[in-house]
Structure 1
């Protein structure tokens, strides 16, 4: 929103006729618009504070200010040489939401603060603010990071629960008895609860990475319990007392499952020492898997034997071995194992060939730091050739919006053109996504969630890319907001060139950009170096100025006043 301000438009003909210069007008306004505290006055045993008050209270007062004298000593009023009117402050930027004038508010959390908890409190305050707004005013959220975090955590948790249920189901299919299945089913939540305690003690929260680690560990949580229960169950079937079988069965396999668990943890142990952003992303996952395995080992060696001693009993014709198809599967496996043992050289050769073949597939598969995401938020930054006026940039922004806003997958849209006073768009968009001049703009789209829309985020952005005019030195860049937040990068590939000579850096950057843009699959290349805006220089002839009684500063001040105006006080 632009503030109101008093515009004083000087008439060049009249100020030349009366011999008045802009500096005189500015000084006259400043000298007659004062509100200055002074000393104290004691009168009738009472002290008064003194203040000299001469501020303007109306436009008429401003119009009647004396700015000079004629040759016959008659006063020259401001109304004689200028037009005085109340108007809105001149804008060098446009911010809109769904084609309506908008005020953008960017909220960032403190370092270390929980995103979900912060946004929960922010949403509560938003509801209170809505009660204070006029009916014609709406308050909408374009992007909410906590929604993405909450959805990912819920999905990961649900996947973990489904995985645990499937694990229990397969255990029952193999054991064909509810008693050992119940024992293992109790081992899973007990191990998860123990893992939560370890995560909290390590200073981690239930974020995306720890939940993925926990989901990954759910399938391995039952391994130790299955080994212990199967051994206890076997000893009971052989005739041992269930309490004796529980103690000896757990002790018998205790060393084996401990060694198995520690070797699995050893695979994740080096991840704890990976430096940089990679280590920060994967450390929580590795620790969660390690904690869950240690918790499952503890539960398998302590609580599982206790449960088994209470509910197990000897059963006839139970377990997988009682089924006909399992015996056939076991017989085929036994035959294959005997063949492999009798043909050791051929078996090793086949395995070695498969291993080498898998290594050859690595270049074909490719790799990337963070996989491509399809978020419900799209952000585009574009720039037109230097010198493009704001009105034309605004037309291009509307042209880009027109290409996608009719899509049912787009919920609402917003744009920012030029520099909007008081905004901090670099908080969300980064330095590459912030309009810093009238020839630059940004488009923001809020989309439906992936499962509810037909087009992907990239397909919607490509529609705007095709609508972007093909102009020399014009750029269109799609901002990957999710990758920037998670990985600290604003593009899939970034090339950084370091040096002391700016001219050399500029030349090398252009050579690199020209080489990279011709590579198949590359789009939206951009240089962080920005070309300067075209300018007209007024070179002051100091000798002529001296003859006319002027200085270079007075000339510069006059040009500034005539083109941008000058501040002369508050009204």
Structure 2
């Protein structure tokens, strides 16, 4: 754990199905009663066994000796001969009244990986961590850690959340590359000149690459939002370059020299390009000023897009005119003898122009009908806006399902461990599941967690939501437990983990009213057929044994409530 916590980007390391090593002392009531030794006597003796205080030093001639003693007991062998009391002149040792063994602090822990006993090491990234870089550092250190472990212990990666991030970034990068190619291709089709196409082909990548500098200064990273902004900006930044190129080409066709045409052409459209860029930025201004979670979420998107447009503006008024002066030429003879390709494009454009002229003439002759169609279209849009399902974000399928197991509050740890094994077996038998890891115990004995890694989508053929629906019925057949499974989402809003995608937090100044209304609300929500896995984290149904202290009698024997509590904890708890 210590080596994992030292990796840059790791915020928390959590263990599932394990506890810290310790010496375990299981007391035997029979021998204790025989020797007349109380539980508090044992606890006091154990507490006095270890000490950690200065012992001083000795000076002998020119040397100084630091004094150390064996006042620290760390293994079971050192505790077994500990003298607890004396009876009939003989010492009573700890091993006479208890079983002493090397164990762990809490034995109520169980972890499984694909049905085998395991200890789960769960790594949580820090808020500002580069997840991919952090995962790469962890993968690099795993062989070294595995070599230091005994041969009987095997280390295996159960879940890797960076795979979905890598896949999403790869898809977005591919989309960005295709978008640049399509934009350059469309420009070539309409300009019908290789020289004219080279200029936007240079301006677009330079504008995108130039955005990386301000992104770095603002602390942004290449994530889905920033890459989406760059992809959308591809269609915006090409407009500025095309406007300058077309105006410069027009002056070249009028007989001007390339340098003069570039200077005059860019000067004429400079205000137009400026107004276009500022208008585009103004469209995204509401996103920049949006408050709350949505504002924080989309601010990086809006700022990246705005920066790209501003850089494109600067390039279109500086670099693009320079490129026009270097590359653009007007060949009058070639214009008179166009190639077959250019002739085919020109014929196609002429045909489109004639069709547009025909349709425009018809629309102007039937103005009332066109107006009626416009009104109906607007009305249809309003109707569709009302009836189309709405949500915050679409559900993501990143190949990971999180399962939360809730059992009866009175369940024992032994039975809960058995239930975990049964549930994991059912999940593992599903054809779409690759690996299953889970654990129970620790802070709560009636709950557990499952981490389900799915096979690639090309293999399983169905979504994570469909697998959850498929597993819901067989998991519900396990009596005494409820298993709530949700596809893991990279984007989570809310400070608490829940058993479903949506949660409501109820607050009240009156705990009695809160406890009374919570079951009623849950029961009412379960009546809605559109809702699944309705549950509550309110747990007040556990079994308990109440011990009533007779304070008068206890006082007569000089026994305080604190001593009674300590004795009960010694007998039935796991004191550490």
- Establish whether residue 316 from structure 1 lines up as the match of residue 339 from structure 2: no
Q: Cα gap change, 1:493/1:320 in structure 2, threshold over 3 Å: closer, same or farther? A: farther
Give the alignment's Cα RMSD to 1 decimal: 3.3
Residue of structure 1 aligned with 2:83, choices 65, 68, 72: 65
| Cross-structure match for 1:378 | 401
- Establish whether residue 442 from structure 1 lines up as the match of residue 476 from structure 2: no
| Cross-structure match for 2:38 | 21
Partners of 2:312 and 2:62 in 1: CA distance: 86
1:59 CA displacement = 5.0
Q: What SS does the corresponding residue of 2:214 show, helix, strand or coil?
A: helix
1:129 CA displacement = 2.0
- Establish whether residue 272 from structure 1 lines up as the match of residue 291 from structure 2: no
Partners of 1:463 and 1:455 in 2: CA distance: 10
Q: What SS does the corresponding residue of 2:533 show, helix, strand or coil?
A: coil
| Cross-structure match for 1:77 | 92
Q: Cα gap change, 1:563/1:196 in structure 2, threshold over 3 Å: closer, same or farther? A: closer
Partners of 1:127 and 1:235 in 2: CA distance: 66
Structure 2 unmatched runs, 5+:
1-17
| Cross-structure match for 2:514 | 505
Q: Cα gap change, 1:28/1:407 in structure 2, threshold over 3 Å: closer, same or farther? A: closer
- Establish whether residue 261 from structure 1 lines up as the match of residue 277 from structure 2: yes
1:468-525 deviations in Å (ceiling 9; x for gaps): 2368985432245325546767543222322211222233333322222222331122
1:166 CA displacement = 1.5
Partners of 2:180 and 2:79 in 1: CA distance: 81
Q: Cα gap change, 1:329/1:30 in structure 2, threshold over 3 Å: closer, same or farther? A: closer
| Cross-structure match for 1:411 | 434
Q: What SS does the corresponding residue of 2:284 show, helix, strand or coil?
A: helix
1:352-375 deviations in Å (ceiling 9; x for gaps): 321121011112212211210001
| Cross-structure match for 1:519 | 528
Partners of 1:320 and 1:195 in 2: CA distance: 39
Partners of 1:320 and 1:110 in 2: CA distance: 60
Q: Cα gap change, 1:487/1:289 in structure 2, threshold over 3 Å: closer, same or farther? A: farther
Worse overlay, 45-54 or 241-250? 45-54
- Establish whether residue 396 from structure 1 lines up as the match of residue 413 from structure 2: no
Partners of 2:29 and 2:271 in 1: CA distance: 97
1:114 CA displacement = 2.6
Partners of 1:371 and 1:61 in 2: CA distance: 59
| Cross-structure match for 1:537 | 546
Q: TM-score by structure 1 length?
A: 0.85
Q: Cα gap change, 1:28/1:330 in structure 2, threshold over 3 Å: closer, same or farther? A: closer
Q: Cα gap change, 1:273/1:62 in structure 2, threshold over 3 Å: closer, same or farther? A: same
Partners of 1:169 and 1:508 in 2: CA distance: 64
| Cross-structure match for 2:108 | 92
1:329 CA displacement = 1.1
Partners of 2:312 and 2:215 in 1: CA distance: 14
Q: TM-score by structure 2 length?
A: 0.84
| Cross-structure match for 1:285 | 301
8 A Cα contact 2:401 2:464, kept in partner: yes
Residue of structure 1 aligned with 2:473, choices 454, 457, 466: 466
8 A Cα contact 1:95 1:417, kept in partner: yes
1:239-281 deviations in Å (ceiling 9; x for gaps): 4433333333333333233322222221111110111221122
Residue of structure 1 aligned with 2:196, choices 180, 204, 208: 180
1:186 CA displacement = 1.5
1:146 CA displacement = 3.4
| Cross-structure match for 1:124 | 140
Partners of 2:496 and 2:245 in 1: CA distance: 49
8 A Cα contact 1:183 1:304, kept in partner: yes
Aligned residues: 547
Q: Cα gap change, 1:15/1:173 in structure 2, threshold over 3 Å: closer, same or farther? A: closer
1:159 CA displacement = 0.6
8 A Cα contact 1:188 1:218, kept in partner: yes
| Cross-structure match for 1:427 | none
| Cross-structure match for 1:114 | 130
Q: What SS does the corresponding residue of 1:404 show, helix, strand or coil?
A: helix
| Cross-structure match for 1:152 | 168
1:29 CA displacement = 5.4
Q: Cα gap change, 1:136/1:75 in structure 2, threshold over 3 Å: closer, same or farther? A: closer
Partners of 1:298 and 1:43 in 2: CA distance: 80
Partners of 1:80 and 1:251 in 2: CA distance: 96
1:343 CA displacement = 4.1
1:341 CA displacement = 3.6
Residue of structure 2 aligned with 1:191, choices 207, 210, 213: 207
8 A Cα contact 1:26 1:566, kept in partner: no
